[in-house]
Amino acid sequence: MGQGTIIGVIDSGVWPESKSFHDEGMGPVPSHWKGICQQGESFNSSNCNRKIIGARWFVKGFQDQLPFNTTESREFMSPRDGEGHGSHTASTAAGNFVEKVSYKGLAAGLARGGAPLAHLAIYKVCWNIEDGGCTDADLLKAFDKAIHDGVDILSVSIGNNIPLFSYVDMRNSIAIGSFHATLNGISVICSAGNDGPISQTVENTAPWLITVAASTIDRTFPTAITLGNNKTLWGQSITTGQHNHGFASLTYSERIPLNPMVDSAKDCQPGSLNATLAAGKIILCLSESNTQDMFSASTSVFEAGGVGLIFVQFHLDGMELCKIPCVKVDYEVGTQIVSYIRKARSPTAKLNFPKTVVGKRVSPRLASFSSRGPSSISPEVLKPDIAAPGVDILAAHRPANKDQVDSYAFLSGTSMACPHVTGIVALIKSLHPNWSPAAIRSALVTTASQTGTDGMKIFEEGSTRKEADPFDIGGGHVNPEKAVYPGLVYDTNTKEYIQFLCSMGYSSSSVTRLTNATINCMKKANTRLNLNLPSITIPNLKTSAKVARKVTNVGNVNSVYKAIVQAPFGINMRVEPTTLSFNMNNKILSYEVTFFSTQKVQGGYRFGSLTWTDGEHFVRSPISVRAMEAYADV
């Protein structure tokens, strides 16, 4: 349950009154904790307990860029959460047990974080002012304090959009701060970003990070749409209020544009609807891309006087709250509704209350919004590393009004997936306190699942549906039970990371500045492929390439592992040796894999795997190869 571990959460703060942060059943504050409970506006030392053992806030960097005062916002000059995001991520990682939690009756049940008995240390760096944000200066300060305070794990649901800054650029504060955290034995878990399904959009790509993609879960919220012809169709919704109008007139947005010459009414862009024609009606809006979301569309309909929204989108992942009753449907259902509207003389519809259903057979799926690889800055490093639940996650949140003390809300994003893995890392850390961050990452990646609850391959949501590949889900969907006992791990030390940075072409001075050690980047053969990661990615294979790896036995002392090769299409693989025999004197063994292209040019990536097994453990490394220019006759 994470006993004795300290999870640092770098985010927007915490709402300490949430029941998720009570300390009943918590153990004593760990002796290695050296942090403080920093006071401030509406936050004092009594807000800390054995669950929230410390809290700090960092605002100087933000104020230097955007001066503000809290009287003009919902913010607090303290660790108190002014937005809700930080409370949500903290409770997902390590929220305590809370019974009878729901959102207005939906998803009712017992709430708990991934590591409910782990301690929390809060580092507020993100501010709910205007467009909001978190500055590099505040982030770096938070990393420094977290390292000083003695956290064991850091959860960072923050990222930067592409183009990404280099790993030695001070504007890549998460890469720099996490590098120093890693040197101090602190695992850093980050979100992959929400710019999917476009490839090469993944964020937080440094090789010492654990980067998390977002997946769906087996819980859904089916919502009936009853048409005037008594036909019932189904969509998804989490909006529970204001369903008291019964049947209402129904139309679709293209019939009621404010300006017929502008094609912005189709997906209900702001100000695109004719209020006279929209008033009192349920409006169907169709999104052909990710340029419009359900909340924004519902706002447009609400402002035009509409009383309900049917939002048509190819993917149904990620529900949003609306100001009016709203239901999301796919193109098939949307087309049936439009066909009814076109045929009926006076089309009407009724939007019913959503229900909660658990046990969806086809799950998980990769969320459409989850950013995809390959990495745009270091394609030899597979990112994301792992996928975890990040769609319609119910967790603690800042209350919507002053009369509430406790609040829970649904949020979706890789920000929600990140703390799921954080909680799992706390479980691993509590059982294996001496494992390095690299060993823990390896345990997650090599034991992850590539199949869903139905036994079929995991699919990804996007403009089309296809089998998820390593650039979608990394090693696969996280499997906590197997990650605790992985058998073998791929460990990595500081020297190897420094060699990697030098191989990126960074100057000796820039690497010295990052590491706070005198570094001389000698000109030598490219070592990026040989960084001891639990995956292998070759972005430009020309004829052949040899990759070296070493594995550490953390399972049975005397064990023999054999290689199982699933070569990418058009690639031959030769593993040497094919058997690894471990004993008391041989705990770390090395092997090499030689890749040969059997086709002249492939253009795109092909995927495979290399699995080491002793019959009990299956240590799987995802493989991604792109062959270029040449081929070998082997």
- Reported as a pLDDT band with limits 50, 70 and 90, residue 264 is confident
Q: How confident is the model at residue 241 (pLDDT cuts 50, 70, 90)?
A: low
> Is 72's pLDDT higher than 80?
no
Which DSSP string do the residues of 52-71 spell out, in sequence order? EEEEEE--HHHHHHS---GG
Mean pLDDT of 521-526: 68
Enzyme catalytic residues: 11, 85, 415
Does the pLDDT value for residue 459 go beyond 70?
yes
Return the amino acid letter for 560. Answer: V
Q: Determine how many CB atoms are found less than 10 A away from the CB of residue 332.
A: 10
Span 395-408, pLDDT tens digits: 999 998 766 767 99
Query: Where is average pLDDT lowest: 256-270, 480-494, 562-576?
Result: 256-270
For residue 359, what pLDDT is reported? 86
CATH 3.50.30.30 residue window(s) in the chain: 222-355
> For the residues 62-66, what does the mean pLDDT come to?
85
Q: With 60 as the cut, is the pLDDT of residue 525 above it?
A: no
Structure-token match 């492939």, residue found: 602
Does 71 have pLDDT greater than 80? no
Could you give the CA distance from residue 282 to residue 348 in angstroms, rounded to a whole number? 8
Q: What is the pLDDT of residue 629?
A: 61
Alpha helices in 71-172 (DSSP H): 85-94, 136-149
Mean pLDDT of 615-622: 97
Q: Confidence class of residue 228 from pLDDT cuts 50, 70 and 90?
A: very high
The better pLDDT of the pair 319, 478 is held by 478
Q: Are 235 and 349 in contact (CB under 8 A)?
A: no
Whether pLDDT at 233 is above 80 = yes
pLDDT of residue 216: 94
Q: 């493989």: which residue's tokens?
A: 623
3-state helix, strand, coil in the chain (%, to 5): 20, 30, 50
Top CATH class, 6-218+362-483: alpha beta
pLDDT in tens, 248-259: 999 999 999 998
Chain segment 12-42, per-residue pLDDT in tens: 999 999 999 999 999 999 999 999 999 999 9
Q: Which residue has the tokens 């479980």?
A: 427
Q: Identify whether the C-beta of residue 317 lies closer than 8 Å to the C-beta of residue 365.
A: yes
Mean pLDDT of the chain: 92
Which segments of the chain belong to CATH 3.40.50.200? Answer: 6-218+362-483
Tokens standing for residue 439: 């060993």
Neighbour-count burial of 582, counting CB atoms closer than 10 A to its CB (0-12 exposed, 13-18 middle, 19+ buried): buried
Please tell me the least confidently modeled range out of 301-315, 373-387, 510-524, 585-599.
510-524
Lowest mean pLDDT among 243-252, 313-322, 514-523, 605-614: 313-322
Q: What is the identity of the amino acid at 98?
A: V
pLDDT reported for residue 317 = 76
C-alpha closest to that of 69 among 130, 11, 137, 126: 130
The pLDDT of residue 244: 60
pLDDT of residue 240: 73
The values of phi and psi at residue 82, to 5°, are -90, 0
* pLDDT range class, residue 619, cuts 50, 70, 90: very high
Q: 138 in helix, strand or coil?
A: helix
**Arch. (CATH architecture) of 532-634:** Sandwich (2.60)
Arithmetic mean of pLDDT, 168-183: 95
pLDDT at 332 over 90: yes
Query: So what's the pLDDT on residue 633?
Result: 45
Q: Where in the chain is the domain with CATH 2.60.40.2310?
A: 532-634
Residue 565: which residues within 8 A CB-CB, separation 6 or more?
Answer: 573, 575, 608, 609, 610
pLDDT tens per residue, range 527-547:
799 999 999 999 999 889 999
pLDDT at 462: 76
- Taking 60 as the threshold, does the pLDDT of residue 226 lie above it? yes
Q: What is the pLDDT of residue 242?
A: 64
Fold of the domain built from segment(s) 222-355:
Glucose Oxidase; domain 1 (3.50.30)
Query: pLDDT class for 634, splitting at 50, 70, 90?
Result: very low
Residue 631 has pLDDT above 60, yes or no: no
The per-residue pLDDT for range 557-583, each reduced to its tens digit, is 999 999 999 999 999 999 999 999 999
- Alpha-carbon Rg for the chain, nearest whole angstrom, is 26
Range name among 127-136, 230-239, 319-328 with the lowest pLDDT average = 127-136
Residue 31 DSSP label: T
Which H helix or E strand runs over 581?
strand 579-582
